[in-house]
Each structure stands twice: as C-alpha cells, then as structure tokens.
Amino acid sequence: MTDIEVLTSHLGTGILIGILYISWLLRVLSRRMGEVTKMRAFYRGFDLGSALLIIATLSYIFQCNAALAQQPAGVLNVEFSLMTFYLPLALGISINLVSAIIYWGWLFRQLL
C-alpha cells in the first residue's frame, strides 16, 4: 500500500456508518408513517438491509486492517471481498431502496 492509501483506508468506514444512519432514520420515519396510514410492516425490510450493511461494514474494517498489517493473504482475495463486502452491500442497499420506495414512492408520483 502507498502512504496515502494507509492514511485514508479507514475513511470509507464513515461513509458506511452514514449509510447505516440514513437507513435507521428511514426505518423510524417509515414505521411512524405506516402506523398512521395503517400499512403493513414493510419497514422490517430496513432491519434486514441494515444487518447486511453491518456485515459489509465489519468486513471492510477487517479487510483494511489486514491490508495494513499485510496479513493474511486469504482475506485480501477477490472471492472473500465479493462474499463478505460487495454482495452484502449491494443486497442491503437494494432491500433498503425497495423498502423506501414502498413507503415514499407516492412523493415521486406527486412530482410527476
């Protein structure tokens, strides 16, 4: 790793934590709106999406630490990254997006 990569490798964690915070905020707002409008509990999709995002965040931290320590090499291969970071990240964001569209899609229909 270069010097700049060593200094900035853990900054991505803040972005992932920010995404988790937005997911939590959307869950709370969607739950309250669902109670008022008597919708089914689709907000639980945010829980599943957040769990996958937590897995991706922990994997990212683990991979950054392994890269900085230059050990173990098995953690830094593509298959490990795909299964523990990219796949949970993509699934978590997709599930959160679908849950948000279910609750907040009417705003987009109003604008069009």
pLDDT score recorded for residue 39: 87
Q: What percent of the chain has pLDDT over 70?
A: 94
What is the sign of the dihedral through the CA atoms of 86, 91, 92 and 97?
positive
Q: How far apart are CA 42 and CA 98, in angstroms?
A: 10
- Looking at the predicted structure, is the pLDDT value of residue 54 above 90? yes
Output the pLDDT for position 75. Answer: 75
CA 52 to chain centre: 6
Is pLDDT at 1 greater than 60 in this prediction? no
CA angle (34 as vertex; 28, 38 as ends), nearest 5:
155
Query: What's the Cα-to-Cα distance from 53 to each of 21, 25, 45, 81, rounded to whole Å?
Result: 11, 14, 12, 14
Provide the whole-model pTM: 0.87
Residue 42 DSSP one-character state: T
Residue 14 has pLDDT above 80, yes or no: yes
* Residue with tokens 């907000």, as numbered in its chain: 43
pLDDT tens-digit map of 59-84: 998 888 888 887 777 777 889 889 99
